């Protein structure tokens, strides 16, 4: 095969290759994205990624706050339970004091009745008149003193017992008052603890709602970020594919042009090295040669 035929074959092959390279429009039905579109998609993804980072920070802070308020709520519940227990103890102490006071009141009342009955019996038996009769009858001084001492001994004993029971009653009343005061204080503490518990529980619910809300926002932004990143990546890939296709097409066209030019140069070189043979000139037909004349005989 001559150089000219080889160059022609190369040119044809490159032309076929150029036709086989897909263009940007052939590779994708849509118009290839521009650089500004790719940059805009990247900026959108970056902005959403920044928002996701901010939400992650807020979520971490909200989670930490939730842990703190949960601990505070736990302590408030413990304090409320303790206050209820102390209130129960105070109520038991108050009930015990009331029972003691009622017992002391009953004992004092019974002793008072006993003293009154003894006094009535003493006078009904004519104690003072009998004493006066003893004086008028002129008994011995010893008998009179013995009778008076016996009377006063009984009376003093009753009064002593009455004083002890009155003291017990006073102590019981004091204990009852103290128990009532303690019970009221415990009730107030229990109410305060209950209010603190409710406030802590509300704080926990609020923190839980905040965490849940931020988590939902974060999930939405993460899905949006994934979409934008996919869009950005898809646009970048499409643009890169379009650029590569255009570059390949230009390279193939340039190679085909260079091959065609080389083929033409090879053809010219071949023509210069192998000139055409000169054309044959027409020769005149051959003329008959003159025959020599015989010399005359002498």
Q: Indicate the CATH number of 3-264 among 3.30.310, 1.20.120, 3.40.50, 1.10.287.
A: 1.10.287
pLDDT confidence of residue 115: 62
Q: Worst-scoring range by mean pLDDT, 55-64, 77-86, 152-161?
A: 152-161
**Residue 68 or 105, more confident:** 68
**Would the pLDDT of 21 be above 50?**
no
**Would the pLDDT of 126 be above 80?**
no
**Residue 225 or 61, more confident:** 61
For the chain, give every domain's residue range. 3-264
State the pLDDT confidence band at 119, using cuts at 50, 70 and 90: low
Q: Which two tokens stand for residue 21?
A: 């390279």
Q: What is the pTM of this model?
A: 0.44
3-state SS, 115-162, equals HHHHHHHHHHCCHHHHHHHHHHHCCCHHHHHHHHHHHHHHHHHHHHHH
Question: pLDDT digits over 39-50, tens only?
Answer: 887 888 888 888
The phi-psi region of residue 126 (left if phi > 0; otherwise alpha if psi is between -120 and 50; otherwise beta) is left
pLDDT confidence of residue 138: 46
How many residues are listed for the chain in this entry? 298
Name 70's Cβ contacts closer than 8 Å, sequence gap at least 6. 204, 207
**Distance from the Cα of residue 102 to its chain's centroid:** 60
User: How far, in Å, CA of 139 to CA of 252, rounded?
Assistant: 164
User: How far, in Å, CA of 45 to CA of 49, rounded?
Assistant: 6
Mean pLDDT of 197-214: 84
């Amino acid at each position: 095969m001559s150089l000219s035929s080889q160059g022609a074959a190369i040119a044809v092959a490159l032309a076929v290759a150029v036709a086989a390279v897909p263009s940007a429009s052939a590779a994708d039905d849509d118009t290839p994205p521009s650089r500004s579109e790719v940059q805009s998609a990247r900026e959108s993804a970056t902005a959403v990624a920044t928002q996701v980072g901010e939400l992650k920070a807020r979520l971490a802070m909200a989670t930490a706050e939730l842990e703190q308020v949960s601990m505070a709520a736990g302590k408030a519940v413990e304090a409320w339970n303790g206050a209820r227990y102390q209130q129960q103890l105070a109520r038991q102490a108050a009930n015990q004091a009331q029972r003691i006071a009622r017992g002391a009141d009953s004992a004092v009342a019974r002793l008072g009745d006993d003293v009154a009955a003894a006094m009535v019996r003493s006078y009904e038996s004519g104690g003072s008149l009998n004493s006066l009769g003893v004086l008028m009858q002129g008994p011995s001084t010893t008998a009179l003193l013995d009778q008076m001492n016996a009377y006063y001994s009984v009376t003093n004993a009753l009064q002593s017992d009455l004083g002890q029971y009155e003291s017990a009653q006073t102590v019981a009343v004091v204990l009852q008052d103290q128990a009532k005061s303690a019970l009221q204080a415990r009730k107030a503490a229990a109410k305060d603890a209950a209010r603190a518990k409710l406030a802590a529980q509300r704080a926990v619910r609020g923190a839980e709602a905040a965490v849940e809300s931020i988590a939902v926002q974060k999930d939405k932004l993460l899905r949006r970020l994934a979409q934008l990143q996919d869009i950005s990546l898809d646009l970048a890939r499409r643009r890169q594919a379009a650029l590569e296709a255009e570059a390949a097409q230009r390279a193939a066209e340039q190679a085909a042009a260079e091959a065609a030019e080389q083929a033409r140069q090879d053809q010219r070189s071949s023509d210069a090295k192998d000139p055409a043979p000169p054309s044959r000139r027409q020769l005149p037909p051959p003329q008959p040669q003159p025959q020599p004349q015989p010399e005359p005989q002498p």
